[in-house]
Chain A
């Protein structure tokens, strides 16, 4: 597959609340047993910054098990994590589309799991 056609997940770090929805949505989609995750939420902070504000950020990290919900995507659905993300801050699309989105706003991470 050429890079142009690769798909990925774009996640807005400003608004990921660490709600773990994506993890459970993924477990359901991939039917994963206890202890296994297709996406795992990591936490940074809370840590007090020198300006008095707090660093308190979550980063959902697609693991090697993530297949970008190929079965769902095939029939026209969104990946389960994207569909269910509580604040709606995950996006699915081609790397090209997502790069354009990522350029429009700071604090985004783009994953291309496959």
Chain B
């Protein structure tokens, strides 16, 4: 019998379809992704039979990407962790014994108490990766459970993902701004207030391939269908760049210079919004003075982008009604990450493309429900303990609470040197830093093995777990956990609908460990109680998890032009949430902290300009961290469907130079520099600059031997053998993941005798 579409795809939370139960939820990982698309789980007998996109989700309108469509393969994968494991061999031997959760909690409690007593709570570091919904849970455990101020990203050098952008814009705009693709309206493109941006400036990301920050790349395509035109800043010809009005193919790491060059054009040709600048911004004169140091000729020379293109693109953007900027990870990944973010955001700001429909709009977490890395920091730690956070002594932004994490590079140095105090325990949840997150993977490998005790919580046995864990705990995947997402809007729920062996959700794990260590700080019985406590801290959210679960998504009305309505400042006045009440083109706080208050460009530590001699030996500029559709960072490598589409690690090289070097499509090659080497297969790209190599990250090989020396081949193809830690900007933020140097040569049998994993684990490193 034919059903109507509305009967098949209902708006309630759960219904029956034949012998299948259908549950509406969202994918907020793991396996990972930053998006949270609405989907439908079809279950029978505690098993997910199939997954479809939820057509009633305004976020993704039923559409999914290949990773979610393939989720069933991950849920039932034979390699999944099923119960807690205790190490029985040496670290690196990959020998484990199954234990009960109770025994695991006993071991954790004993070790934590011992380390707390001998070295102080601050010697325990909580760490997360990205992607799974663990933004507040591990921080809470670190502050309220371990009593340590040291929660941070696991060795992400310069915290250079999102944080540099977020920190800078918090200081100068007082909020965070995103490209308006109508995502905050339940009725999306039909919303009467919404306006399609005439031009989107896509900077340093390919949102179609990257799981950008709560931003679905295909929204841009929806806008293109509705007339939006593009400017794309990217060394690589992405599909979007191929369809752009202007593709600015810049030299990796010169984003700040390009931004300043565009500002120069917009200011000198009077293309900016004079009324907005006068009324709502602070420091325009100083900015205008600064951009004079970046004439377009000079910028063209620095960035390799032809002068005319810079000028035309700047005019094209400034004259849009309105324009919007979609910026991404690569903005953060240079030493000059913060000034780059400053230059780019300033382009939109002086054009007045701020908080109006179809521009860059300000957004906070739904109902201001906390979900940040700072959760519990003030409440559970004394000022004395907070003052011990690693990196705070060096970086005022951290000290002033702008960045809510311990500085990742400072944690590494403390591990290595015992200074300012020793680090004796790592709690790593959802992170595989030696596979992708930290720069200089071999260096991390050494450091993380020096502690007294490490716990890794994950979905699968990872190289990081084999290398350093004493205890491995199995985490639940998306449909195995109750959770919520307040990363902007809407407020969304995930529901636990199946149980896999003894896996527990991240919330459950944090709660149970917390209860053992500091019961007074963890008075809740269940994960749902804990979530309801998080909700209860919001001044505006009056409902509980059960209600949200029934709704699945909850949209608040979105207000534009908040600065005119007194909706941004805590004192209720109009203006921006900054010391001057204005959008600060010149940062008064940076000036106070002894930092440059204006955007500036600085050469990457290794480049043809800053290290010409070294660049003779290593003639290519290397960008790492290239994304693909199949994988999220180091995840998904077990899945046969994803590997069918993408079996091996790939690097992009210009087709002509490859031909000159005798390199053909698919050839295994070595990428090498002064720091180390890795091998990947060549993908020939006719559009890439002859001087740039673009390498993927996150590769390990679950099909290989897990024990050392192979260690799942984690160093063999690891582009982070070539990047370095501890090269941050003066803010503590930014690191040159995307702009170092390398040479390339074909892999042969002779030059591949000692693979990097063997070199690192058995031969003392490169």
Sort chain B's interface into a size bin. 35 or more
With beta carbons under 8 angstroms apart, the residue of B2, B62, B208 that contacts A75 is B2
Which residues of A1-20 have CB atoms within 8 Å of chain B's CB atoms?
14-15, 17-20
The distance in angstroms between the C-alpha atoms of A20 and B629, with both chains bound, is: 8
Query: Chain A's nearest CB lies how many Å from the CB of B118?
Result: 51
Query: Chain B's nearest CB lies how many Å from the CB of A18?
Result: 6
Q: A48-B686, A84-B53 are in contact. Are A19 and B66 (CB under 8 A)?
A: yes
| Interface size counted on chain A using CB atoms at 8 A | 34
A83 contact set on B, CB distance < 8 A: 52-53, 55, 62-63
Task: Tell me whether B644 and A34 are in contact (CB under 8 A).
Answer: yes
Query: Chain A's nearest CB lies how many Å from the CB of B223?
Result: 10
With beta carbons under 8 angstroms apart, the residue of B5, B50, B225 that contacts A15 is B225
Task: Tell me whether A76 and B5 are in contact (CB under 8 A).
Answer: yes
A24 at the interface (CB under 8 A from B): yes
A35 at the interface (CB under 8 A from B): yes
A46 at the interface (CB under 8 A from B): yes
Which residues of A39-55 have CB atoms within 8 Å of chain B's CB atoms?
45-48, 54-55
Task: Tell me whether A28 and B242 are in contact (CB under 8 A).
Answer: no
With beta carbons under 8 angstroms apart, the residue of A23, A45, A46, A86 that contacts B63 is A86
Q: A28-B50, A47-B686 are in contact. Are A21 and B66 (CB under 8 A)?
A: yes
B685 contact set on A, CB distance < 8 A: 46
B570 at the interface (CB under 8 A from A): no
Which residues of B444-470 have CB atoms within 8 Å of chain A's CB atoms?
none
Which residues of B50-85 have CB atoms within 8 Å of chain A's CB atoms?
50, 52-53, 55, 61-66, 69-70, 72
Q: A46-B237, A46-B687, A76-B5 are in contact. Are A20 and B66 (CB under 8 A)?
A: yes
Query: Chain A's nearest CB lies how many Å from the CB of B239?
Result: 5
With beta carbons under 8 angstroms apart, the residue of A19, A47, A48, A88 that contacts B65 is A19
With beta carbons under 8 angstroms apart, the residue of A24, A46, A56 that contacts B641 is A24
The distance in angstroms between the C-alpha atoms of A20 and B642, with both chains bound, is: 11
B222 at the interface (CB under 8 A from A): yes
Task: Tell me whether A19 and B2 are in contact (CB under 8 A).
Answer: no
With beta carbons under 8 angstroms apart, the residue of B4, B69, B221 that contacts A84 is B69
A25 at the interface (CB under 8 A from B): yes
Task: Tell me whether B3 and A76 are in contact (CB under 8 A).
Answer: yes
B224 at the interface (CB under 8 A from A): yes
B8 contact set on A, CB distance < 8 A: 75-77
Q: A76-B3, A85-B63 are in contact. Are A54 and B218 (CB under 8 A)?
A: no
A27 at the interface (CB under 8 A from B): yes
B640 at the interface (CB under 8 A from A): yes
Task: Tell me whether B237 and A84 are in contact (CB under 8 A).
Answer: no
Which of B65, B69, B225, B645 has the largest number of chain A CB atoms within 10 A?
B69
Q: A19-B629, A48-B686, A75-B3 are in contact. Are A84 and B645 (CB under 8 A)?
A: no
Task: Tell me whether B641 and A19 are in contact (CB under 8 A).
Answer: no
A87 at the interface (CB under 8 A from B): yes
Query: Chain B's nearest CB lies how many Å from the CB of A90?
Result: 10
A75 contact set on B, CB distance < 8 A: 2-3, 8
The distance in angstroms between the C-alpha atoms of A66 and B69, with both chains bound, is: 18
The distance in angstroms between the C-alpha atoms of A27 and B51, with both chains bound, is: 13
Interface string of B29-62 (1 = CB under 8 A from A): 0000000000000000000001011010000011
Task: Tell me whether B66 and A54 are in contact (CB under 8 A).
Answer: no
Closest partner residue, chain B, to A55 (CB atom): B242
With beta carbons under 8 angstroms apart, the residue of A24, A74, A87 that contacts B66 is A24
Query: Chain B's nearest CB lies how many Å from the CB of A24?
Result: 4
Task: Tell me whether A34 and B65 are in contact (CB under 8 A).
Answer: no
The distance in angstroms between the C-alpha atoms of A89 and B239, with both chains bound, is: 15
Task: Tell me whether A17 and B2 are in contact (CB under 8 A).
Answer: no
Q: A24-B66, A45-B242 are in contact. Are A15 and B224 (CB under 8 A)?
A: yes
B640 contact set on A, CB distance < 8 A: 34
The distance in angstroms between the C-alpha atoms of A14 and B167, with both chains bound, is: 38
A19 contact set on B, CB distance < 8 A: 65-66, 208, 218, 629
Query: Chain B's nearest CB lies how many Å from the CB of A5?
Result: 16
Task: Tell me whether B687 and A54 are in contact (CB under 8 A).
Answer: yes
Query: Chain A's nearest CB lies how many Å from the CB of B689?
Result: 14
Which residues of A59-109 have CB atoms within 8 Å of chain B's CB atoms?
74-77, 80, 83-89
Task: Tell me whether B242 and A27 are in contact (CB under 8 A).
Answer: no
Chain A residues close to B by CB (< 8 Å): 14-15, 17-21, 23-25, 27-28, 34-35, 45-48, 54-56, 58, 74-77, 80, 83-89
Q: 30 A-B Cβ contacts within 8 A?
A: A14-B243, A17-B218, A17-B239, A20-B630, A20-B645, A23-B66, A24-B70, A25-B64, A25-B69, A34-B640, A46-B242, A46-B687, A48-B687, A55-B242, A56-B237, A58-B239, A75-B3, A75-B8, A76-B2, A76-B3, A76-B4, A76-B8, A77-B8, A80-B52, A83-B55, A84-B52, A84-B69, A85-B63, A86-B221, A87-B221
* Other contacts beyond A34-B641, A87-B225, A89-B221: 12, CB < 8 A: A18-B239, A20-B66, A23-B645, A24-B69, A25-B69, A28-B70, A48-B686, A58-B239, A85-B63, A86-B64, A86-B218, A87-B63
